[in-house]
Amino acid sequence: MREAMLRLCLIVICLPFCLAIFGQQVVPLYPNSIPNARPYTMKEDSLLWNGSFGGFRNVSIPSLELYLPAPEKASGEAVIICPGGGYMVEAYRDEGIAIARYFASRGIAGIILKYRLPSDSIMVDKTIGPLQDAQQAIKTVREQAATWHIKADKIGVMGFSAGGHLAATAGTHFNKAYIPNPGGTSLRPDFMILVYPVISMQDDLTHAGSRSFLLGEKPSADKKVFFSNERQVTKNTPRTWLTHTGDDSVVTVKNSLVFYEALQQNGIEAEMHVYPRGDHGFVLAFPAEKWMARLVDWIRKADPFTSKPWEK
């Protein structure tokens, strides 16, 4: 009896703390109809990796999963996270939940985007489906900023692998709305975080599987250029953090290099970390604190080498 009471007391003591850090909730991405959708019978499946939940496939109903810090701990920044998976699956656990939890523990809202995976069976035009969802995510977070204790000018996108391609697409194609946006809400993210990203759809750079699932087996030259985000950088592209390894055998590091070069040519603030070894998915082998602490500083522009004291 005494042990049971002690457990109850610990739960009562710890629960408010846990809720203060991880105020998790899932909300539909679209309040009404989903744009660019067609009737379908496809059903979403969960992926099991080593016997436990790892992610999703056949995603057709997009959503946002919120990890919001307590209002008194919120710094105001928010990061919309796009898990990778070659546009075939979404590695939701490792490249979504774990990342969002860490951000929330540091006072940053971590918001996971479960985006539609491109499929002709559920979309009229599968090539723009993920981009529509990324734009809708930015629009929703910006419009809910006050409610979620977020600063409307501190909203970034983050993506891993093919999710990095989606994040980079959102950060370079924001001038045209592919979703209903009657209020003219800005669809431009304030910063981008691209982790071993697919950037290009060009033959010598792209990840073939990601391109095939997004654009089809034989995409036109125009489609390949449009979704080669290194070719879409302008002087209004958001500041960007890139990380990759030189020995990445899945997505060549040249993707990050050409994007960094394009950012430099357009005078965009960028920080890039290229490590010699680790292969694809290398950051997932480390505790989040080991590689994300420096990233949090970058989000807050707390680096004395790149920011002024009054900008912190």
Structural domains for the chain = 24-311 (3.40.50.1820)
- What pLDDT does 49 receive? 84
Q: Within 10 A of 284 (CB to CB), how many other CB atoms are there?
A: 17
The mean of the pLDDT values for the chain is 90
Q: Which of 160, 111, 153 is nearest to 136 (CA)?
A: 111
| pLDDT confidence of residue 4 | 42
- Stretch 128-157: mean pLDDT: 98
For residues 21 and 105, is the Cβ–Cβ distance under 8 A? yes
Confidence of residue 23 (pLDDT cuts 50, 70, 90): low
Residues 6 or more apart in contact with residue 51 via CB below 8 angstroms: none
Taken as a whole, the chain contains a residue count of 312
Q: Measured between alpha carbons, how far is 57 from 201 in angstroms, rounded to an integer?
A: 22
Query: pLDDT at position 177, please?
Result: 98
Give 224-267 pLDDT, tens digit per residue.
Answer: 999 999 999 999 999 999 999 999 999 999 999 999 999 999 99
Give the tens place of pLDDT for each residue, 192-209. Answer: 999 999 999 999 999 999
C-alpha 47: how far from chain center: 19
d(CA 192, CA 156) in angstroms, rounded, equals: 6
0.85 exceeded by pTM: yes
157 class by beta-carbon count within 10 Å (0-12 exposed, 13-18 middle, 19+ buried): buried
Residue 227 — left, alpha, or beta (φ > 0 → left; ψ -120 to 50 → alpha)?
A: alpha
Q: What is the CB-side half-sphere exposure of residue 111 using CA atoms within 13 A?
A: 29
pLDDT of residue 24: 82
| Cross-strand partners of 114 | 63
Q: 190 phi and psi, to 5 degrees? A: -85, -20
What gap in Å lies between CA 249 and CA 259, rounded to an integer?
Answer: 18
Looking at residue 7, what is its pLDDT?
41
Q: Read out DSSP for 216-270?
A: -SS--HHHHHHT-GGGS--TTSPEEEEEEETT-SSS-THHHHHHHHHHHHTT--E
Are 44 and 59 contacting, i.e. CB atoms less than 8 angstroms apart?
yes
**Does the structure show a pLDDT above 70 at 149?**
yes
E runs forming strands in the chain: 23-28, 45-49, 52-57, 63-68, 78-82, 89-90, 109-114, 155-160, 191-195, 239-245, 270-275
Give, as one character, the DSSP assignment of residue 34. Answer: P
